[in-house]
Amino acid sequence: MRFGYALLCVSLAGGAWAQSVISAHSGVVHYIEGDVAIDGSEVHPRFAEFPDLKNGQVLATEEGRAEILLTPGVFLRLAENSSVRMISNSLSGTHLQVISGTALIEAGELLPGNAIAFDCAGARIALPKKGLYAMDANAAKLRVYDGQALVSVGDQQVTARKSHEIALDGEKLADTKFDVKDTDPFYRWNARRAEYIADANLVAARVESNSNSYASGYASGSSGGYAGGTAGGSWNWNPYFGMFTYLPGSGMYMSPFGSMFYSPGMVGVAYIPQRASGTPSVVSGTAATAAASAGPVSHGGFSGVSHGGGHPGGGHR
């Protein structure tokens, strides 16, 4: 199997759970829809097999869309008729070029020691903070829906903040404001992907919190015991959903799209099923623990989200 990651105690037989995974490098093609190719060769997805975008390779979506896992907690998604080149898949310096079309980067967490940068329309764009960023190579612009980006062209440098758009094709980097509520179908597809992965996180965090490896690590004071002794988060394989999800090393965080991600240490004390009129409540004590032991519940209430044998957001289509 080609996961592109170092797996700990992996077994898919009988729906067995893998332990958390520690990312070896960026560039695993996690999910595709429609026609997607790597260096001109069409990707033919198979269950639990994930192509690895190596240095120098180009992924093109053609009439499709794709989701690529970068450093733990960071997703790159491509719209139709878009392409990216992997320049460096190192976790300490992940670097890609947006060649054509539109890329949206969801940076839920940026772990210490990890760094991400993009080339787009002749500009270098570094992402020092978590957030949500849209890069359009055809229109030569960057939009920051949340977070902060450092944009440089030659001797020009601009810090782009939330609700700011940077034009990349002029003699001077033009900074204007835009309405973050101005979205499109591709943006909304990204939001659905984020929710599917958050649903998988909820189940994975419960399973990990009950595992002996996590319990022993947590008891010894290492909040990352389930992640090989590291304090950082990691990608985690969820066989029920047929997909990877992200597990924070400790605590929890909200993705730029509003979906909650829980660490195994927090899922039992901070999650209760969503009420009809609001988001999940963050509480502690017996009520939360009892609620967390119930069956998995969708964060956003999308109809058709199944937690049984399949999931609309898992694997490849």
φ, ψ at 215 (rounded to 5°): -60, -45
Half-sphere exposure of 223 (CA within 13 A, CB side): 15
pLDDT at 269: 76
DSSP track, 176-198: EE--TT---HHHHHHHHHHHHHH
pLDDT at 180: 95
Domains assigned to the chain:
26-177 (2.60.120.1440)
pLDDT at 210: 82
Q: State the 10-residue block means of pLDDT for the chain, 317 residues long.
A: 35 41 80 96 86 96 95 96 98 97 95 94 96 97 97 95 94 94 95 95 89 44 33 84 91 89 86 52 35 34 29 43
Half-sphere exposure of 50 (CA within 13 A, CB side): 20
Residue 67's closest CA among 114, 29, 10? 29
pLDDT at 173: 94
Tell me the CA distances in angstroms from 79 to 76, 101, 144, one per residue in order. Answer: 10, 7, 17
**Contact status, residue 225 vs residue 209, Cβ threshold 8 Å:** no
What is d(CA 247, CA 72) in angstroms, rounded to the nearest whole number? 9
Tell me the CA distances in angstroms from 74 to 79, 83, 108, 130, 223, one per residue in order. Answer: 17, 18, 6, 8, 21
Task: Say whether pTM exceeds 0.95.
Answer: no
